[in-house]
Structure 1
Amino acid sequence: MSRNQNITDVLMVGATGSIGQLAVRAAERHGLRPQALVRDTRRAELLLPGVELVEGDLEDPASLRNAVSGAKAIVLTHGSGGDPRPDARAHVDYGGVRNILKALDGAQPRVTLMTSIYATRSDIPGTTPWKRRSERLLRASGLPYTIVRPGWFDHASPTQRRLVLQQGGTGDGGIARGQIAETLVRSLLTGTALGKTFELIATEGEEPSDWAGLFRALKTDESDSVDGVLDPADLPVEAEPQAVRADLDAVRPLNGSSV
C-alpha cells in the first residue's frame, strides 16, 4: 500500500453510524488517530469508547469550524437514513458535505466520501440526485479526494471477499459493511485512489492483497468536470437549481470558473 505519510489524525464524519463505527476501527488498525465528529457526546462515548470526540452538527456550519480546523484527512460516511424529514437528503447528504467544505475555509485535507451505488441512477425508484450533487461539490472544491459508491449493505456472503470496483454508474450488487469501511480507509491512504470515483461490490473470491493495483486500474476523474469519469450526462449542471449552482461556485478555489 502506498501511504500518505503526512496523514495521522483523521476526522470521521458520520462516525456513530453503522459504517462510520467500522471505519473508525479500521482507521485505528492502520495506525491513524480518528477523531469523531458527533452531535451527542454522551451517546457517542457509549458507541465509540476510547475515541476522541469533537462536537459539531452538520446542519450548523458555525459548529464545524473548530472540528475541521487543522484536519489533514476527512472520511465522510454520514447519511440521512432514518431521518423522517422529506428534505433530509438535501439537508444532510448534500448539505453536510457543503457545510464541511465551507468550514474548511481554504484548508486542503484529503477527503474520502461515501455515497451510494445508485448516486447517478434516475431509473431506480426512490433515488434522488442529492448524493450525486454532494459528489459534485467535492470535485468542484479542488481537494484531493476519493469517492466510494458502495452497493447494498450486507448483501454479501462470507465467501464473497473479492472486491469489484466499477465506474459509469451501471453496477449493482451487495457488500459487507466491514468491507466498505476497509475500502474507505485504504482509499484515503493509497496514492493510486486519488481522484477516483467508483462503485463497490463484493463477489466470490479472495480479499484483495494489492490495493494500489486495485485502485490503479480505475480511470481518474476529469480535472475540469464536476462529474465522475464515465458518469451519465443526464443531469446537466446548467439545468440545476440556482441554489445548487451557487453552492458549486462557493466551494470552488479562487481561480476556479463559475457555472
Structure 2
Amino acid sequence: MSPTQNITDILMVGATGSIGRLAVAAAQRHGLHPRALVRDVRRAERLLPGVELVQGDLEDPASLRSAVRGVDALVLTHGSGSNPDARRRVDYGGVRNLLQSLDGARPRVALMTSIYATRSDIPGNSPWKRRSERLLRASGLPYTIVRPGWFDNAGPTQRRLVLEQGGTVDGGIARDQIADTLIRSLLSSTALGKTFELIAAEGEEQSDWAELFGALKVDDSGSVDGVLDPADLAFEAEPQEVLADLNTVRSLYGTSG
C-alpha cells in the first residue's frame, strides 16, 4: 500500500477518549472507515454509536492481532495520565505491543504524544512518550508524530495552527484541531516522516494542509529522534528493556540504526 493513498480502514486507539472520539468523527467526515479498539464494548457503544468496535487491550499483545488485521492506518491517541509506571506500560508499552502485533504489515501511523515529550526540564515529566516515538521511528513505518499543546487552553479566536519543531514551543490548542490534524496527516504526503509540536495562535485556521506540513523538516533517516529534538536523552543510556524493544522492532521490520 502507498503510504499516502488508498487509506480507508483506520484502527483508532484511544477512541473513547476526548481526542479519540473527535478523531473518529474527523475520519468519518473525510470518508474513512474508523475501527475503534476498546476494552469495554458496552461503554464504547454508548460513546461511539454506529462505529465498528473491536475488543482489545494495549497491555495484552495477543488481543491486538485481530484488531490490526487489514487496516490501512493507525491513529494513536491513547494516554495513561501522569503516573510514570502507567506511562511505561500504556503510553510506551502500547506502541510496542501494537508494532509487534502487525505481523509484517506496514500501515500508515499517526501518533499523538505531548508537547513536553522531549522536555526533561519539566517537573514530573517522564521520557516514556519520547521512547514510544523512538519505537515508531525505529520500525521504519510511514508515520507522523503530533505533539499537541495543552488541551483547550486556547481562546475561541485562537484558531491559527502553529506547527513547530525542536521542543521549545509552549501553548494550548482546541481538541478538535488536534483530532483533525491527526487525520489530515494520514492523507498528506507532506506530513510523512515528520514530528512536530502543535499549538494555536490568534487568527483563523489555515486551509492549505499540504503547505502547513510541507514547511516542516523531515526526521533524519535512520534516527530514532525527531529532526530538531534536544540531545538530552542519549540512546546509549536508555534502559536495557528499551534497547531490547528497539532491537526487536528493528528486527521485525528489517530496519537498522
- The TM tier, using the shorter chain, reads over 0.9
- Aligned with residue 138 of structure 1, among 136, 139, 149: 136
**2:35 paired residue number:** 35
C-alpha displacement at 1:5, in angstroms?
Answer: 3.3
Provide the rounded CA distance (Å) in 2 between the counterparts of 1:149 and 1:78. 13
Provide the rounded CA distance (Å) in 1 between the counterparts of 2:205 and 2:149. 17
Q: Please list every run of 5 or more consecutive structure 2 residues that lacks an aligned counterpart in the other structure.
A: none
**Residue by residue, what CA displacement relative to the aligned partner does 1:151-178 show, whole Å, maximum 9, x if unpaired?**
0000011101100000001110000000
**1:212 paired residue number:** 210
C-alpha displacement at 1:254, in angstroms?
Answer: 5.0
**1:256 paired residue number:** 255
Following superposition, which runs of at least 4 residues in structure 1 exceed 4 angstroms of deviation? none
Matched to 2:42, the amino acid is: R
Matched to 1:96, the amino acid is: G
Matched to 1:59, the amino acid is: E
Mapped contact 2:15–2:21 kept (Cα < 8 A): yes
**1:7 paired residue number:** 7
Provide the rounded CA distance (Å) in 2 between the counterparts of 1:241 and 1:221. 23
C-alpha displacement at 1:4, in angstroms?
Answer: 3.2
CA RMSD across the alignment: 1.2
C-alpha displacement at 1:105, in angstroms?
Answer: 1.6
Matched to 1:175, the amino acid is: I
Identity of aligned residues (%): 79
Matched, 1:64 2:71: no
- Partner of 1:186: helix, strand, or coil? helix
Provide the rounded CA distance (Å) in 2 between the counterparts of 1:64 and 1:212. 32
Provide the rounded CA distance (Å) in 2 between the counterparts of 1:246 and 1:60. 19
Provide the rounded CA distance (Å) in 2 between the counterparts of 1:227 and 1:25. 31
Matched to 1:219, the amino acid is: K
Matched to 2:178, the amino acid is: I
- Compute the TM-score of the two structures, normalised by the length of structure 2: 0.96
**Residue by residue, what CA displacement relative to the aligned partner does 1:25-72 show, whole Å, maximum 9, x if unpaired?**
000000001000001000000000010001110000000000001111
Provide the rounded CA distance (Å) in 2 between the counterparts of 1:39 and 1:63. 10
Provide the rounded CA distance (Å) in 1 between the counterparts of 2:9 and 2:69. 12
Provide the rounded CA distance (Å) in 1 between the counterparts of 2:161 and 2:114. 16
Mapped contact 2:35–2:51 kept (Cα < 8 A): yes
Matched to 1:125, the amino acid is: P
Provide the rounded CA distance (Å) in 2 between the counterparts of 1:238 and 1:27. 39
- Partner of 1:25: helix, strand, or coil? helix
Matched to 2:148, the amino acid is: P
What is the number of residues matched between the two proteins? 254
Provide the rounded CA distance (Å) in 2 between the counterparts of 1:254 and 1:12. 22
**Residue by residue, what CA displacement relative to the aligned partner does 1:125-182 show, whole Å, maximum 9, x if unpaired?**
1110000000000000010000000000000111011000000011100000001001
**1:22 paired residue number:** 22
- Partner of 1:181: helix, strand, or coil? helix
- TM alignment of 1:139-158, pairs within 5 A: 139-158=137-156
Matched to 1:155, the amino acid is: N
- Compute the TM-score of the two structures, normalised by the length of structure 1: 0.96
Structure 1 residues 232 and 47 mapped into 2: Cα distance closer, same or farther (>3 Å)?
A: same
Provide the rounded CA distance (Å) in 2 between the counterparts of 1:213 and 1:71. 27
Provide the rounded CA distance (Å) in 1 between the counterparts of 2:24 and 2:112. 14
**1:78 paired residue number:** 78
**2:44 paired residue number:** 44
- Partner of 2:157: helix, strand, or coil? coil
Provide the rounded CA distance (Å) in 2 between the counterparts of 1:255 and 1:187. 25
- Partner of 2:231: helix, strand, or coil? coil
Matched to 2:249, the amino acid is: V
- TM alignment of 1:174-193, pairs within 5 A: 174-193=172-191
Provide the rounded CA distance (Å) in 2 between the counterparts of 1:190 and 1:138. 19
Provide the rounded CA distance (Å) in 1 between the counterparts of 2:170 and 2:253. 38
- TM alignment of 1:86-101, pairs within 5 A: 87-101=85-99
